[in-house]
Structure formats: C-alpha cells, structure tokens
Structure 1
Amino acid sequence: MTGQGRETTDGTVGRTLAVLDLVAAFGRPVRFAEILPVAGLPKATLYRFLQALTHQDMLAYDDDRQTYAPGMRLVRLAHAAWAQSSLAPLAQEVLDRLAVDLGQTVHLAQLDNGAVLYVDKRNAKLPVEMFAQSGKVGPAYCTGVGKAMLAHLPEDKLAAALSRQSYHAHTPNSLTSAEALRAELVRIRERGYALDDEEHETGIACIAAPILSGTGRVLGAISVTTTTATTSRAQLLALAGPVTQAAAQIAATADTWRFPEHKQA
C-alpha cells in the first residue's frame, strides 16, 4: 500500500501514531516547539494528537521542563512485543553459544517495514563501538542482516522493501541503487549468506544468514560482526558455516515453538 493510501485508510489513528514515532525519533525529551516544524501538521492538530497520546500514557509530559517523551505504557507494550513477537526469547541460547564459541559480536534482527530492527545482541570479548544495538533501526540495503532477509522475500514484498531504501552512500562500498542491490541479492540466495563489506560503517564487516521458516518465510537474520583491523576477509568467510548453522537452529526452534496456552482454572 502506498503512503497516501495508508494515510487514507488509517486516518486519525495513523496520524497520531506518526506523531508518536516522531517524538521517539528525537531520542530525548522534546519540546512542542521542536516537534512542530517537522510534524507537518497544523499547530492545533499536533497539540490535539500530543494530548491524546499523553492521556493514554503513550507519551509522558514533564510539566517542569515542558517536554514530551515516550511513556511507560510503551515500555509495557515493548516487553510484551519482545516476548511474543520477536525471535529474541527463542534465540537466546543460540546467540549465547555462538558469541562464546567465536568471541565476536552477534546480532539478531528482523525486518520492520523494509528496515532492520535489531532485537538482540551479544558483545565480543573485546567490544567495539558500532551503530547496531538492540532496539535500534537501521537500513537494510547496506547491512548484512538486512541483505540476508531481503534476498529471500517474495517479489511483491521485495519490491515494496526496495522502494523504502534510501540508497545513501554511508561509505564508498555502499550499494546506491536498487539494480545493484538486486544483483547482490541473487548472489546471496545462491551462496546462503550475506556480507557487509564496510558498507554501513568504515572498518566494520559482518557475515549474516537468514532465518527462514520451513516454508521459506523470512523470520529474521543473525550475523557475526567484527572489524577489518582484526579479521581478514578469509577469516570472515570461514564463519559462514557457524552462522548458517546458528540460523538453522533458531529457525527449527521457531517452527516447533508454540506460545503456551492459558490453562483455565
């Protein structure tokens, strides 16, 4: 569905949630005067949406500082989503074991409207500062986990996801067109894993594998991330086996797992 079609069908609810996303994107408590220039809404409309979100505890308003921030209701919802909708609880043991065995940083991610949502992470023995953190949203076209998931989407969903990519050149190695990305996705499907060859951050490289259901549906992706200063390309490629095996283990768990049913007293 196009952005315009979605706005029409979602109406006020969609516009209100867009304001919630906007406040959260600041990454800090924010004043009304800061939100207004970027909201694209009349002053009275924006104020009404902010009031509604505050009354529903989706936003918290600080009277002293006159700022808005994500509310505690979102924290409760996030915990519920993490437990019921993310792969993180099912993948914990696999992530723990892979991180210990390899001594490298391990990421678990899922697709969210064409972007990468990092849902869990294990740090290396010697942690390295990088963009990817649990809860962060990143681009799909220039990350290992993103490309691993895109490569296995059906054509209609892939086309929609590709249309949402910015194709910004984060580094000289970034793919900057849908055509270049599609060619790379073909290679990823053939070999079973994806690489981030310093495409998102200079000096950071990773190898990633998709987590697929028994029917081939994309559930998520797992990656091992390291630095080009400490790991050669050959050493990175040697991790393809452990990464794809870990992805298969998570997929098997996800296929057989059923959310515990509530037992009536």
Structure 2
Amino acid sequence: MTAQDDVVRRPASPAVDRALTVLETLIGSDEGLTLTALSRTTGIPLATCASIVYTLEQRGYASRTIVGRSHFWRVTLRLYDLAAPLIRQEDLSEVAQPQLRALVDALGMPAHVGVLDGASVVYVGKVAPQGFIQFDTYPGKVSPFNLTALGRAIAAYLPDAELEPLLNQLTPGTGPKAKRPTARALRAQLAKVRQVGYALEAEEEQADIACVAAPFFDAEGRVVGSVGVTGFAHQLTGRKLTRAAELVVQQGKEVSAKLGF
C-alpha cells in the first residue's frame, strides 16, 4: 500500500466515520441493538457508541426501548425526512413508472430506478411482481455503485472528472464471483457497458442474485439515472439475459425520451 493509498483509505474525520458506522449498523439491524452489541458489531469502543446513540436520540434519529435493565436502540423514520427532499428533486420514479411496469410484466422480475449519490447508487423507484419471493430492494436503499448494475450503468457515462474520484471509493463484494475491486478493472467493465449499452452484475454483491440495467439521459445528454431488473442469477444468463438486456435498454431509451433526450 502506498502512502497515497493510506491517505485515501483513512477517513478525514474519524468521529464522523464512527457516527456513520453506528447509524448504518442500526439501520441494517432487524432488531434493536444494545450498546454492547453495537460496540461488538462495529468495533467501536462502548463509551464512544454511547455518546453517538445518545446524540442521535437527542436529534430524533434514534430511539430506545427498555426491557428490564437492557436498552435496545433503533433508528427512527426521521432519516426519511433527510432523503425525501432529494428523492422529490429527482422524482424519476414517477416518470419511469410505465417503463418499470413494462419490465415487470415482460420479465416477471422487480424493476428499479437508480440515481448516483457520491459513490453510492440510491434506489428511488421500484415496481415488483406479485408473489411470495421478494428481493431486498426498496426505494431509499443505498448500495456501492460498483457492485450494482444500476450504479455501473450510470458510472459508464460520467465525465472522467466525475468518475475519477469514485475510483478511490470501490467496495469489495461478498458474493462468490466477487473479485478485488481495482480502478483498472472497473474502467474495463465500464468500457464494456458503453459498448453493449447495458451493465450486468452477477453474484458479486451477494450469492445467487444478479441484475442488469441501462442508463437514461436528460435533455442535455447527461446521464441522470438508470433502469434495471433484479433476479436470481440463473434467470439472467444466455437467452434470458439477452432478452432482459434488450428490454432494459429499450426502457432506458424511453425514459430518456421523456426527459427530452
């Protein structure tokens, strides 16, 4: 590791980094967490965790339930208030609803709209087929841009000045087909996206799951988001992948046309 790499990886503000780690851990927990469990999960000292959650409670972003002598902490819906204005500003979900529905009807897979927010892709819209099997995707979900087809489809068309900073913020996947992320490998993937018109991610972020997505553009030709579908990996191979890719590219073009491109 070079000294430059070390500077990039070290958070500019450790205090903020710890607060965000605590917040993300609470969001990812199905049940409330005690301070002991939170400290163990995050690797952050108990006293620091306590200071963070008490502050979150004071600001209305966390609440606690007392059971016996234990205090269980969880986040509140106040977080939604932070994201809602951004989602309203980028109200692409409403624009793309017919296209999402068309994808669901044709493929029987959940369809999504994503926008880029820093080094993350945010799911701002979803239409899902009826059924017992539901994927863990929802409006407001945030994922590393390099681990999703939605994120890659957008990143492939960013100006180099906007893409370059993101290449220092690559997140490794936990799926069986994940490889160590590098700027060089990602650039090659993005070049392929531009060549074929769509992005594919298969079992890199997590096992058995794949997604395919295509970008859409505004009236000035700038990439503003992507539309795609998520399914089991075996549903997005061979002819099934070819058909899904053709459909997401088509629907991406239709959303672009609505935006004046």
Name the TM-score class by shorter chain: 0.7 to 0.9
2:180 is equivalent to residue 176 of structure 1: yes
The match for 2:215 is 210
Give the distance between the partners of 1:163 and 1:46, measured in 2 at CA: 28
Give the equivalent residue in structure 2 for 1:89: 94
Aligned to 2:255: 250
Separation of aligned partners in 1, 2:241 and 2:130: 17
Root-mean-square deviation (Å): 3.3
Secondary structure of the residue aligned to 2:167 is: helix
Which of 106, 131, 143 is equivalent to 2:111? 106
- Normalising by structure 2, report the TM-score: 0.77
Task: Provide the secondary structure at the position in 2 that maps to 1:28.
Answer: coil
Flag structure 2 segments of 5+ consecutive residues without an equivalent: 1-6
What SS class does the counterpart of residue 209 from structure 1 fall into?
strand
Please say if residues 105 and 127 of structure 1, whose CA atoms lie closer than 8 Å, have aligned partners that are also in contact. Answer: no
Q: 1:161 aligns with which of 153, 158, 166?
A: 166
Q: 1:193 to 1:85 in 2, by over 3 A?
A: same
2:49 matches 1:40: no
Matching residue of 2:13:
7
TM-score, scaled to structure 1:
0.76
Higher mean Cα deviation, 230-239 or 142-151? 230-239
Query: CA deviation digits over 1:128-181, x for unaligned, max 9?
Result: 454544433334334322221221222233232232223346123x34332222
Q: Which amino acid aligns with 1:54?
A: E
In the alignment, does 2:66 pair up with 1:60? no
Looking at structure 1, the residues matched to 51 and 260 of structure 2 have their Cα atoms a distance apart, in angstroms, of 44
SS of match in other structure, 2:145 = coil
User: CA offset at residue 16 of structure 1?
Assistant: 4.6
Determine the C-alpha separation between the residues in 2 that align with 1:127 and 1:196.
24
1:209, distance to aligned residue in structure 2 (A): 0.1
How far is the alpha carbon of 1:69 from its aligned partner?
1.1
1:8-27 → structure 2 map (5 Å cutoff)? 16-17=19-20, 19-27=22-30
Q: CA deviation at 1:212?
A: 2.5
Q: How many percent identity over aligned positions?
A: 27
Contact 2:27 2:75 in 1 (8 A): yes
Q: Could you tell which deviates more after superposition, 122-131 or 230-239? A: 122-131
User: Is 2:31 the counterpart of 1:28?
Assistant: yes
| Shift in CA distance, 7/215, structure 1 to aligned 2, threshold 3 Å | farther
SS in 2 for 1:74: helix
Q: Provide the rounded CA distance (Å) in 1 between the counterparts of 2:162 and 2:30.
A: 30
Displacement after TM superposition at 1:240 (Å): 3.2
Write out aligned runs for 1:123-142 (5 A): 123-124=128-129, 128-142=133-147
SS state at 2:33 partner: coil
Matches within 5 A, 1:217-228: 217-227=222-232
- Within 2, Cα distance between the matches of 1:118 and 1:167? 20
Q: How big is the shift at 1:31?
A: 1.3
The answer (yes or no) to whether the contact 1:39–1:46 under 8 Å persists in 2 is no
Q: CA deviation at 1:188?
A: 0.8
**Corresponding letter in the other structure for 2:13:** E
Give the deviation of 1:112 after TM superposition: 3.3
- Give the counterpart letter for 1:29 in structure 2: G
Aligned to 1:261: none
Q: Match for residue 149 of structure 2?
A: 144
CA contact (8 A) 1:206 1:236 kept: no
CA distance 1:125–1:237, change in 2 (3 Å) = farther
Superimposed CA distance per residue, residues 17-61 of structure 1 (whole angstroms, 9 cap, x where no aligned partner): 554334323343111222334263571x54333222212211112
